Copies of this chain bind each other. A is one copy, B any other.
């Protein structure tokens, strides 16, 4: 008895082969002398059609237990399918029901369910067509990311999740503590005595592994992170999660040009891999979720990204005969409507905007010679806007110190980050990609909570 995955049988099963499949019943159709089951094992969107002849022992009992959601092992012989929905089907000779699924209470009946409802049964929703496709695409994306970097000799580095620095300023970060909230120890001065907490100081969940990744890049040349990051933003939107995965490559001896080249090659590689490996799932999204998904993916793969400076982008937007809600003015950040106009209306393809005013970007981005802009770059894509944010990092010790102080931060907090500029500093660059934003964009899913298995958002940490 050789067990085979459904996808394998659908692709390469041949008539007259013996086969066993194991999976869950999606649908059952009873005819006069036989019945059809659709068995899904999660390996593909389409299930395998199984034919049950009424001559099977205990046929009537079997049929009763074969409700939607029941788990089975079926052995039999493959036969060319009569219908045109599938190439092959399995004629059952023996069938074992492992676990039944009470049709009175099983929440996933045949009717369509709203994604809101499915979130309340996140432990079962992966058994639906849409979520099944989402998580297969998510897996393929994640492997495409590793493959892209490993082929280029980047090391995957695991930067810390718990961090001692509240680097984005108070409030944005979730705290990690071992204190009993009803017995917070205080110092004599009445302050919280963090010396008694688990790590001996206030600690938070990281918002980015970039600074630590820079330290690793200055030893290994090319590294990337791929791990969870956190934001305590109280944003109940379709695009925010409190816990999400981030990808952050960092390259020594690399400038903004190299950074842009890498980001473009990276996106092209991921989209191409998913189009190649998840064709069925992507077609499903295009049909059922968002009819521009395939076109967008093809565009990312095949079109050279436009590159434009922030200054030129502002000039272009100012001249555009388009009613924007937010003002367009040098020094103000681009809003989503501006980003989308550039991609969707003006260039009709992905756009990389570079060299933003230093005031609207982070302190670690390299100051350009004009003294006003920094070597930042944002990759903008249609429908979404910014999908990647990156920069060449400030590698000059004196300039970096000035930028830290100018932002009201303390040099002491960045002692080790400054050390990287003190000892063997080099031009280096990197970027960050929010993994769930990528999967959301790729699949066309309306809510980001539906592209991560168990979403964490304000007032929600179920499962």
Asked if A221 lies at the interface with its beta carbon under 8 angstroms from chain B, I say: yes
Q: Which of A136, A426, A461 has the most CB of B within 10 A?
A: A461
Residue among B100, B174, B424 making CB contact with A176, cutoff 8 Å:
B174
Asked if A422 lies at the interface with its beta carbon under 8 angstroms from chain B, I say: yes
- This chain: copies in complex: 2
Q: Which of A265-273, A306-314, A322-330, A452-460 faces chain B? A: A452-460
B232 with A178: CB separation less than 8 A:
yes
Q: Which of A30-38, A150-158, A343-351 faces chain B? A: A150-158
What are some 12 contacts across the A-B interface (CB < 8 A)?
A: A22-B253, A25-B424, A42-B221, A101-B422, A122-B416, A123-B215, A136-B220, A138-B158, A143-B150, A175-B178, A175-B179, A199-B456
Residue among B157, B192, B218 making CB contact with A135, cutoff 8 Å:
B157
CA distance in complex: A421, B123 (Å)? 12
Residue among B69, B156, B177 making CB contact with A175, cutoff 8 Å:
B177
Which B residue's beta carbon lies closest to that of A233? B198
Q: When each residue 74-105 of chain A gets 1 if its CB lies under 8 Å from chain B and 0 otherwise, what string results?
A: 00000000000000000000000011111001
B253 with A199: CB separation less than 8 A:
no
Residues of B within 8 A of A146 (CB): 143, 146
Which B residue's beta carbon lies closest to that of A170? B180
Residues of B within 8 A of A161 (CB): 161, 205, 228, 230, 243
CA distance in complex: A292, B139 (Å)? 37
- Interface residue tally on A, bucketed by range: 35 or more
A73 with B253: CB separation less than 8 A:
yes
- Least distance between A417 CB and chain B CB atoms (Å): 8
Residues of B within 8 A of A102 (CB): 422-423
- Least distance between A69 CB and chain B CB atoms (Å): 5
Q: When each residue 26-69 of chain A gets 1 if its CB lies under 8 Å from chain B and 0 otherwise, what string results?
A: 00000000000000011100000000000000000000000001
Q: Which of A124-132, A295-303, A381-389 faces chain B? A: A124-132
CA distance in complex: A161, B184 (Å)? 25
Asked if A331 lies at the interface with its beta carbon under 8 angstroms from chain B, I say: no
Residues of B within 8 A of A440 (CB): none
* Residues A243 and B177 in contact in the complex (CB < 8 Å), given A221-B42, A458-B198: no
CA distance in complex: A164, B462 (Å)? 6
CA distance in complex: A454, B199 (Å)? 13
Q: Known pairs A69-B424, A101-B422, A158-B452. 13 more at Cβ < 8 A?
A: A24-B424, A71-B252, A98-B425, A127-B218, A135-B220, A138-B158, A160-B243, A162-B461, A198-B234, A198-B459, A199-B460, A203-B461, A215-B453
